[in-house]
């Protein structure tokens, strides 16, 4: 059974070389959803249970430093301790996605989803992103829409629409991109850390 705490480790944008101490922002208390803000351009969505905070901070620093080799070692060590941890499997999937090892990423995401009885939305989000990159739009849409229809948390719904808008823009489906970014923006109105991402994406859509 998945704990009430939702864990998210999603790289929203590629990190710049300049280091900055991340700030933890709480989005939702039950289930717990948080994200680390490095700066306006760089956001890492993550949540951890109380006993894993120190390890999580170390992993965050490895991500910021792009030290993917050591990050993989740390995550595999976590997985060896608890092979059925949906969160660790999701984080490993994200790492493989960064490295463009898509089959491995998809395998990790699917294992994470299976072990959580399809209730672990972060893995569903990430799997949708992976399929979108690979051009499998129907699979991606199905996953994003699953969260939009099933989740009661506006933040997760907004991130789903944001993922859809990015995918539609990549495909050149501008009308769909405009609709999705508009819905995402309205739901993220209280999360100004996402303003820059929204503005940049809207400009790309309008300039297409």
Confidence of residue 140 (pLDDT cuts 50, 70, 90): very high
Helices of type H across the chain: 53-64, 68-81, 86-98, 102-115, 121-133, 137-150, 154-171, 174-187, 195-207
Q: pLDDT: is 59 or 141 the higher one?
A: 141
Mean pLDDT (whole number) for 27-33: 67
4 lies in a domain? Answer: no
Is this model's pTM higher than 0.85 or not?
no
133 lies in a domain? Answer: yes
Q: What is the pLDDT of residue 12?
A: 39
Mean pLDDT (whole number) for 84-93: 87
What is the span of the domain harbouring residue 113? 10-207
Q: What is the pLDDT of residue 2?
A: 45
CATH number of the structural domain spanning residue 69: 1.25.40.10
**What's the whole-number average pLDDT of the chain?**
80
Can you tell me the distance from the alpha carbon of 117 to that of 74, in angstroms, rounded to the nearest whole number?
25
Tokens of 24: 């933890």
When divided into structural domains, the chain yields a total of 1
Q: What is the pLDDT of residue 22?
A: 66
119 lies in a domain? Answer: yes
Confidence of residue 16 (pLDDT cuts 50, 70, 90): very low
Q: pLDDT: is 124 or 38 the higher one?
A: 124
Q: What is the pLDDT of residue 52?
A: 44
78 lies in a domain? Answer: yes
Can you tell me the distance from the alpha carbon of 86 to that of 187, in angstroms, rounded to the nearest whole number?
27
Write the pLDDT tens digit of every residue in 146-198: 999 988 889 889 999 999 999 999 999 999 999 999 999 999 988 888 888 89
């Amino acid at each position: 059974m998945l704990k009430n705490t939702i864990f998210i480790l999603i790289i929203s944008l590629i990190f710049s070389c300049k280091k900055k101490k991340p700030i933890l922002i709480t989005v939702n208390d039950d289930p717990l959803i948080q994200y680390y803000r490095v700066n306006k351009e760089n956001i890492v969505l993550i949540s951890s249970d109380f006993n894993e905070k120190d390890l999580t901070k170390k992993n965050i620093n490895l991500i910021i430093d792009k030290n993917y080799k050591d990050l993989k070692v740390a995550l595999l060590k976590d997985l060896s301790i608890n092979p059925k941890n949906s969160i660790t499997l999701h984080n490993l999937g994200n790492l493989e996605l960064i490295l463009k090892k898509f089959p491995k990423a998809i395998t990790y995401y699917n294992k994470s989803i299976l072990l959580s009885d399809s209730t672990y939305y972060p893995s569903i989000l990430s799997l949708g992103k992976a399929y979108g990159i690979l051009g499998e739009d129907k699979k991606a849409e199905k996953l994003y829409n699953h969260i939009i229809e099933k989740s009661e948390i506006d933040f997760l719904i907004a991130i789903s629409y944001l993922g859809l808008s990015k995918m539609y823009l990549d495909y050149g489906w501008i009308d769909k991109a405009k609709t999705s970014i508009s819905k995402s923006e309205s739901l993220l109105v209280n999360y100004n850390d996402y303003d820059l991402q929204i503005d940049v994406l809207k400009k790309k859509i309008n300039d297409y």
